[in-house]
Amino acid sequence: MIGIQDRKLVLWNIGVAYIAFLIGTFCGLLQVFIRNDALDLPAWLDYYQILTAHGVLLALIYTTFFIFAFFIAGMSKTLGNFGPKVSLFAWLGFIVTLIGTVLATIMIISGKASVLYTFYAPLKASGWYYVALALVVIGTWLSSFALIGHYIAWKKRNKGQLSPLFAFMTISTIILWIIACLGVVTTVVFQYIPWAFGWVDTINVELSRSLFWYFGHPLVYFWLLPAYIAWYVVIPKLVGTKVFSDSLARFSFVLFILFSIPVGFHHQLTEPGISSFWKFLQVVLTFMVIVPSLMTAFSMFATFEISGRKKGGTGLFGWFTKLPWKDVRFTSIFIAMAFFIPGGAGGIINASFQMNELVHNTLWIVGHFHITVGAPVAMTFMGITFWLIPYLTGRKFTKQLQKLAFIQVISWTIGMLLMSTSQHILGLLGAPRRTAYSGYNGHPSTLDWFSGILSNHVTMAVGGTILFISAMLLIYIVANLLFVSPKAKLKKDFVEFPIAESDTSHTPKFLENWWIWIGVAVALIIMAYALPLSDLIHNAPGSRGHITW
Ligand code: HEM
Ligand SMILES: [Cu+2]
C-alpha cells in the first residue's frame, strides 16, 4: 500500500478529474440535442460556449488530472513513497493546474472565451483565458518535475539498474509532454497574451496554428500512452501472466517519443502558407507511428493468447473464451482496445494527404476522436478507476458496484457505437463539425442525405443520451468508491494495484539512455519544423482579433 500522503494527492487528482467529467459530459448531452434542432438555448448561453467547455473539460482537464493521478500512484507504488521535496512539487503542480482550470472555466462560463479547445486565432478570448491555459501547462510541468525527481532519486539508489517498466513508461510520456508543451507555451506567452491584452495589434495566425499543432498531436499521445501503460503493465496481471516482452514494450514507447512530435502539419493539410513538401514529409513521419502501434497490438494479443492457453484454451481461438470476461477491470479495457482498431484505421484516413480533403472539418472527425480518446482512452481510465479508487480508500468494490460497472461499460459501448457511427457517416455526407444546427436551409437533397437510419442526427442524439446516462452511472460508482462503500476488513476484500512482472534480463540498457532519444527527437523536430516555421515567422501576415460571439 502506498503512503497516506501520496494517496491523498492521487485522490484529489481523481476527484477533480471526475468533476470535470461530470460537467463536460453534460455539455455533450446538450450538444447532441442542439445539433438535432431539438433544444433552443436561452439567450445568455451559446452553443460555442458549451462546446468549448466540453472540449476543454473532457479532452484537456479530465485526461490531465486522471493521468497524473495514475502516474503518481504508479510511481509511488513501483519506486517507493515520495520524499518531502517530491511531494511539495507534486502538490504545487496540482494546485497551479487547478487554479488554471478554475480560471479557464470561469472565463468560458462567463462568455469571454468561446474559442473552442483549440483556441485558433484570430478568434480572440479574454487575455485571462490564455493566462489560465499557461497556468494549466506550468502546473503539469511542476508535477512532471516532481515525478522526474522521484525517478532520479531511485536511479541514484539503484545504480546501473533498469527502472521498473511503469516508471520507464511514465518518464517517456513526461519527456514527450514537456517537449510538446514548448510549442503551446511559446504561442500562448509570446503571441496570444500580448495580443489579447492589447499590447500588440495583430497576431501571426498561421504561426500560432502551427505551434498549436506542434503540441496538439503529441497531446493525443499524452492521453494515449497512459492507457498503453495500463495495457502493457496492468492487463497481463489481470489475465494472470507476465509482460510479453519488456524490451518490446520499452522500445515502442521510445518510438512514440520520436514519431509523435514532428507531425503536427497533418492537422493543417488544407492550410495555405505551408508548402506541400513539408506537409508530405510530416505525413510520412506520421505513418511511422503505425510501427509502435502495431507492436502494441501484437503484444496485447500475444499476452491474451499465452494466458488463454495456460488456462487450457485449445485450437485456433479456444484461448479467447478463457479470458477473464467477468472481471470488469479487464473487460472495459478489452473493449477499449477493440475501439482502437477502427479508431486507428480512421486515423490513417485522416492523415492521408488526399483523403483528408474529404473528411476535413466534418462530423467524421468528431466520430474519429470519440472512438480514440472518448472510447479507448476514456474506457481504459474507467477500467483503472474501478481498482485505483478502492485501492486508495481501502473500500470494497462490492458485487453490486461491479454489476453497475458492467452496465456502465456496456452502455458506454453502445452509446459510443451509435453516436460515433452516425457521426462518421453524417460527416462523409457533408455534415460540418463545430456547428450548432445545420439543415442547409432545408434543401431537400441534403435533408434526404441526413435521413438514413445511421446517417441521422437523431441516432447521434440517442447515442449521446445513452452515453450521458452511462457517465452519470460512472459518477455514482466513483462517489461510492470514494465515500460510501464499506471499508474492507478481510484480506480478500482489499483491492490490489495490479502490476505484472516484467523480465528485464534481455532488455538492452541503452533503451533507458534518455539523452539518445531526446537527441534523435530534437533532430527530427528540427528537420520537420525549422524551415517552415522560419518561413512563417518572416512571411505570414498578422490579423486583428475577432470576437464572433
Ligand atoms: C456524454 C458523452 C459525450 C457526448 C454526448 C459527446 C458529444 C459530442 C458532440 C456532439 C460533439 C461535436 C460538436 C460539434 O462539432 O458541433 C463533441 C465534440 C467533442 N468531444 Fe465529445 N461527447 C462525449 C464525450 C466525450 C469525451 C469523453 C471526450 C474526451 C475525453 C470528448 C471529447 C470531445 C472533443 C475534444 C470534441 C471537439 C470539440 C471541438 O470541436 O472544439 N467527448 N462531443
Ligand atoms: Cu494528429
User: Does residue 432 sit in helix, strand or coil?
Assistant: strand
- Tell me how far the alpha carbon of residue 28 lies from the centroid of ligand 1, in angstroms: 6
> Residue 442 above 90 pLDDT?
no
Quick: pLDDT tens for 63-112.
999 999 999 999 999 999 999 999 999 999 999 999 999 999 999 999 99
- pLDDT, position 439: 75
Peptide bond before residue 122 is cis, with ω within 30 degrees of 0: yes
State how far the Cα of 436 lies from the Cα of 443, in Å rounded to an integer. 17
Q: What is the mean pLDDT of residues 194-212?
A: 98
Distances (CA, A) of 99 to 61, 93, 105: 12, 10, 10
Cell numbers linked to 539: 512571411
> Alpha-carbon distance 117 to 365, whole Å?
15
> Percent of the chain, pLDDT > 90?
93
Question: Over 90: is that where the pLDDT of 445 sits?
Answer: no
pLDDT surpassing 80 at residue 491: yes
What is the C-alpha separation between 369 and 350, in angstroms, rounded? 11
Nearest CA to ligand 1 atom 37: 55
Enumerate residues 6+ apart whose C-beta is below 8 A from 297: 337
Which ligand approaches the C-alpha of residue 260 most closely? 2
Helix axes 378-393, 63-79, angle to 10 degrees: 50
pLDDT at 219: 97
Residue with more model confidence, 442 or 370: 370
Residue 440 has pLDDT above 90, yes or no: no
Secondary structure class of 84 (helix, strand, coil): helix
Mutate to test the pocket of ligand 1, among 366, 379, 459, 475 (most ligand atoms within 8 A of CB): 366
What's the pLDDT band for 163 if we cut at 50, 70, 90?
very high
- State the Cα angle at 98 between 189 and 43, rounded to 5°: 85
What is the band of 353 on the pLDDT scale with cuts at 50, 70, 90?
confident
Query: How far, in Å, is the centroid of ligand 1 from the Cα of 373?
Result: 10
Report the pLDDT value the prediction gives residue 438, as an integer from 0 to 100.
74
Q: Contact 383/324 with Cβ under 8 angstroms?
A: no
State the distance from the centre of ligand 1 to the C-alpha of 53, rounded, in angstroms.
10
**How far apart (Å, rounded) are the C-alpha atoms in residues 295 and 306?**
16
Per the prediction, the chain carries an average pLDDT of 96
Asked if 434 and 360 touch (Cβ cutoff 8 Å), the reply is no
Nearest ligand to the C-alpha of residue 180?
2
Rounded (to 5) percent helix, strand, coil in the chain: 75, 0, 25
272-305: per-residue pLDDT in tens? 999 999 999 999 999 999 999 999 999 999 999 9
Find the Cα–Cα–Cα–Cα dihedral 174, 178, 179, 183, rounded to 10°. Answer: 140
Phi, psi of 324 (to 5 degrees): -75, 70
Near ion ligand 2, which residues have CB within 5 Å?
Answer: 217
In degrees, rounded to 5, the angle at the alpha carbon of residue 485 between the alpha carbons of residues 482 and 491 is 105
Q: In this structure, what C-alpha cell is assigned to residue 85?
A: 521535496
Q: What band does 536 get if pLDDT is binned at 50, 70 and 90?
A: very high
Does 417 have pLDDT greater than 90? yes
Integer Cα distance of 235 and 444 in angstroms: 51
Q: Supply the residues annotated as catalytic.
A: 217, 221, 368-370, 433-434
| d(CA 221, ligand 2 centre) in Å | 9
Indicate the pLDDT class of residue 441, thresholds 50, 70 and 90: confident
C-alpha grid cell for residue 387?
481498482
Ligand 1 atom nearest residue 464's Cα: 5
For residue 315, the SS3 value is: coil
Query: What is the reported pLDDT for 161?
Result: 94
DSSP three-state, residue 454: coil
